[in-house]
Each structure stands twice: as structure tokens, then as C-alpha cells.
């Protein structure tokens, strides 16, 4: 077992409401989520000395710090790759605390993604950075949206595994079923049917509208401290049992079309191998999971890459009901990013914290260990969280 395992814990989380138009600044959302997380943990804002976020977040560390009444910020760091990076800031926080660089680290993500800009729009005419010249090279063919990029990967997955849009409907329906009983979810009170999925319009064939995540405004923050400190605080510590990033040979940001396997898979498998090695746990030890669903169909190769079923067998695993509460691996009980909201996966981390504390609206009984993953089809990250 390596030194990261169980040395740190999520002591608190905070979140704003999730909406299509927050009516306030992104910085205000970040501050509200941060103050909420600190209050949840029972830690005074003056104790915060580290902050970690996504490069895509528009809120600077020192501005949040100023607004919460921070005193002495010593550690701040950012992780790229948008939703692929979700668990990267968590890993940064854990490493900073273990090495003594910081003691109380806030991880945050806040955005007015729906009301002020939309990620699903064509990406073109960008400055020629190393990633952008690749987006432009693919955009030259008309491949300009994340939906089309993942659609191209998933079409090959369907060809090789026999999975169909009807299989993907099973997850789309399940995510909205969970969301329909979650008051924080966009799909609260609005379950959908397989027919709704099958008749929803194509966005990037094979991906339909109801395969796509929400576009959301909102903020989520976590407070991470040492395991020792967490045991003295008011909430049950949610230990970071493992945290890893994955970007194996051939990985390209939303453009890994040139390696043997073009599925959104290799980077997830690479992160998974590290998680199981760090924690000493195996897929069979995990009671539930948050599997990143920028697009619902990517959950299928995700389940395979993290070892819950063999390659190509996710369609049967899902069809047999194993993602439901009572199944082998309930996932995304908040409704996922298809059903609750899209906050670059941070709302999924918050759901994992609630599940492990036993306070979720769609609670899985007796959860001890959970996998949480980030966006696939680009450099990714993942963590295993657990409680005693």
C-alpha cells in the first residue's frame, strides 16, 4: 500500500442549488459552496491554507479566499482537462496535506455554464495551442463538439460489442429514475421511458439528446484535511483511500482516434489500476460508484475499464439491473450528470460523500467503499472513497 491511502479525508462538502440560470456571479457560487463546505465540516474559514480547482474554473483562488475572510493561503493548484480532471484536485489536496504543505484544502468548481456560456457549442477559431491545433485538425472535418467526438468513439464500441441505442436507453432511464426522487435534480419528478429516449432527437448519431448531460449553473466545494483531524470533526470522515490520474500512451484530449482501442476506455483502465494498487481493494470490494456521464453511453466502457464486468459485457450488466439499488453496483444515485446537474463531476463527488455518510436521498444500504470517476475520452482521474 502506498502512502496516499487513508491519510486524508473529505471532512465537509457544500453546494449551491443547480439551475439553468443562477442569477449571480460564478465567484459568488464558488464562495457560497466553499462557505457551505466549511460550515459542514465545522472548520473556520481562517483555517483554510490550500485551494485546488480546475484550470477551466473562472474563479481565482485569492478572490474566493478574500471573500471568505481567509488569512494565509499557502498552496494553490489547478488541474486541466475539464471533466477529465475531477479527482485531480482531490489528489492534489491529499498530497499537499500528506507532505505538510497545507492543512485545510478547499477543492472547488463553480460555473454559470448554462446561463453565460455553453460547452456543447462548436469549438473553432481558437488560439493555436497544442490542444487547439488538434481540435482544429478534427474540426476541419466538422468534428467540433464533445458529443460528436464521444459519438465517434462510441460508434466503434457499439460495432465491437453489439451494444445498441436501446442498451444506452437503459442507463438514460435509470439516471432519470434516480433523479426523479432527488429534489436537487433537474429531472426531479420527471422520470422518462425507453420510448422517450428512443424518440429524443439525435445530437451526434449514435448519441441522442437524452444521452447527454445537463447544462448547468452551480457550485460544489469539498474540504479536505488529514484523517487524524477529520476524526475530531463533526462529520463522519470520508477517507481518500486512493486517488489517481490516467493518460496512457496514445491519449489525446477528446481525440484519441489513433490508438488500438478508440473507446473511452484506456485512460480509465490506467487510473483504475493505480486505484486498486494504492488501496488494496478490488472492484468486488466496492459497494457503489459514481461513473462520469458526460454522455450516458460512456458509462458502459467505464464499467468495463474499472473492472466491474468484462470488455463488451456492460450491456448485459446494465440490462440485468445491476446499477439499481440492490444490484451488484448501484451507480449515480443522485441521477448522474444526465439527471441531476453537470458541475464537471463535482456534484458526483458530493453524492459519494452523502452515500458514505448514509445521508443520500437514494441511499444504498451499508455503503463502505465507493469509486468516483471523471470524464473519459481524454486524460482522466478517479478516486476510491470510504468510511470505517
Residues that bind another protein (CB under 8 A): 120-122, 124-128, 130, 132-145, 148, 151-153, 155-156, 159, 201-206, 209, 249-250, 252, 255, 257-258, 262
**Cβ closest to another protein, residue 161 vs residue 373:** 161
Contact criterion met (CB below 8 Å) for 185 and 360: no
Contact criterion met (CB below 8 Å) for 383 and 304: no
> How far apart, in whole angstroms, are the C-alpha atoms of residue 342 and residue 35?
21
Name the residue among 345, 348, 351, 373 with its Cα closest to residue 264: 373
> How far apart, in whole angstroms, are the C-alpha atoms of residue 336 and residue 112?
19
Whether 13 is catalytic is no
**Cβ closest to another protein, residue 295 vs residue 317:** 295
> How far apart, in whole angstroms, are the C-alpha atoms of residue 209 and residue 114?
16
Whether 292 is catalytic is yes
CB of residue 304 vs another protein: minimum separation in angstroms? 18
> How far apart, in whole angstroms, are the C-alpha atoms of residue 293 and residue 114?
17
**Cβ closest to another protein, residue 19 vs residue 200:** 200
CB of residue 135 vs another protein: minimum separation in angstroms? 8
CB of residue 347 vs another protein: minimum separation in angstroms? 24
Out of 178, 239, 292, 306, which one is annotated catalytic? 292
**Cβ closest to another protein, residue 45 vs residue 139:** 139
Q: In degrees rounded to 5, what are phi and psi of residue 384?
A: -115, 125
Q: In degrees rounded to 5, what are phi and psi of residue 160?
A: -80, -25
CB of residue 133 vs another protein: minimum separation in angstroms? 5
CB of residue 132 vs another protein: minimum separation in angstroms? 6
Out of 157, 178, 306, 342, which one is annotated catalytic? 342
**Cβ closest to another protein, residue 150 vs residue 286:** 150
Name the residue among 89, 115, 106 with its Cα closest to residue 48: 106
The per-residue DSSP string of 344-371 comes to TTHHHHHHHHHHHHT--TTPPTT--EEE
Q: Active-site residue numbers?
A: 292, 342
Amino acid at each position: 500500500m502506498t502512502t496516499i491511502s487513508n491519510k486524508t479525508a473529505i471532512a465537509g462538502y457544500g453546494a449551491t442549488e443547480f439551475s439553468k440560470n443562477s442569477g449571480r456571479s460564478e465567484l459568488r457560487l464558488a464562495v457560497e459552496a466553499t462557505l457551505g463546505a466549511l460550515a459542514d465540516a465545522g472548520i473556520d474559514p481562517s483555517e483554510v491554507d490550500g485551494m485546488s480547482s480546475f484550470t477551466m474554473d473562472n474563479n481565482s483562488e485569492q478572490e474566493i479566499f478574500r471573500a471568505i475572510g481567509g488569512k494565509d493561503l499557502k498552496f494553490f493548484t489547478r488541474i486541466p482537462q475539464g471533466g477529465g480532471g475531477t479527482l485531480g484536485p482531490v489528489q492534489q489536496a491529499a498530497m499537499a496535506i500528506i507532505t505538510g504543505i497545507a492543512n485545510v484544502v478547499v477543492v472547488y468548481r463553480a460555473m454559470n455554464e448554462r446561463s453565460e456560456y455553453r460547452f456543447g457549442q462548436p469549438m473553432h477559431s481558437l488560439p493555436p495551442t497544442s490542444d487547439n491545433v488538434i481540435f482544429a485538425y478534427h474540426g476541419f472535418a466538422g468534428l467540433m463538439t464533445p458529443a460528436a467526438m464521444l459519438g465517434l468513439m462510441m460508434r466503434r464500441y457499439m460495432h465491437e460489442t453489439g451494444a445498441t441505442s436501446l442498451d444506452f436507453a437503459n442507463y438514460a432511464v435509470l439516471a432519470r429514475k434516480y433523479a426523479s426522487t432527488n429534489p436537487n435534480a433537474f429531472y426531479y419528478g420527471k422520470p422518462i421511458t425507453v420510448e422517450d429516449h428512443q424518440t429524443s432527437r439525435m445530437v451526434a448519431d449514435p448519441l441522442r439528446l437524452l444521452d447527454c448531460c445537463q447544462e448547468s449553473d452551480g457550485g460544489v466545494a469539498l474540504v479536505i484535511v488529514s484523517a487524524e483531524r477529520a476524526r475530531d470533526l463533526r462529520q463522519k470522515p470520508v477517507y481518500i483511500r486512493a486517488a489517481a490520474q490516467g493518460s496512457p500512451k496514445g491519449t489525446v484530449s477528446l481525440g484519441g482516434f489513433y490508438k488500438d482501442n478508440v473507446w473511452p476506455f484506456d485512460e480509465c483502465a490506467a487510473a483504475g489500476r493505480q486505484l486498486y494498487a494504492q488501496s488494496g481493494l478490488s472492484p468486488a470490494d466496492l459497494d457503489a460508484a459514481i461513473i462520469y456521464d458526460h454522455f450516458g453511453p460512456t458509462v458502459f466502457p467505464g464499467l468495463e475499464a474499472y473492472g466491474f464486468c468484462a470488455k463488451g459485457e456492460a450491456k448485459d450488466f446494465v440490462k440485468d439491473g445491476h446499477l439499481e439499488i440492490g444490484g451488484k453496483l448501484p451507480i449515480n444515485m443522485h441521477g448522474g450528470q444526465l439527471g441531476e446537474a453537470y458541475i464537471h463531476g463535482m456534484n458526483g463527488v458530493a453524492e459519494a460523500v452523502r452515500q458514505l455518510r448514509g445521508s443520500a436521498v437514494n441511499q444504498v444500504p451499508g455503503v463502505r467503499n465507493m469509486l468516483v470517476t471523471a470524464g473519459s475520452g481524454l486524460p482522466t482521474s478517479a478516486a476510491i472513497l470510504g468510511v470505517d
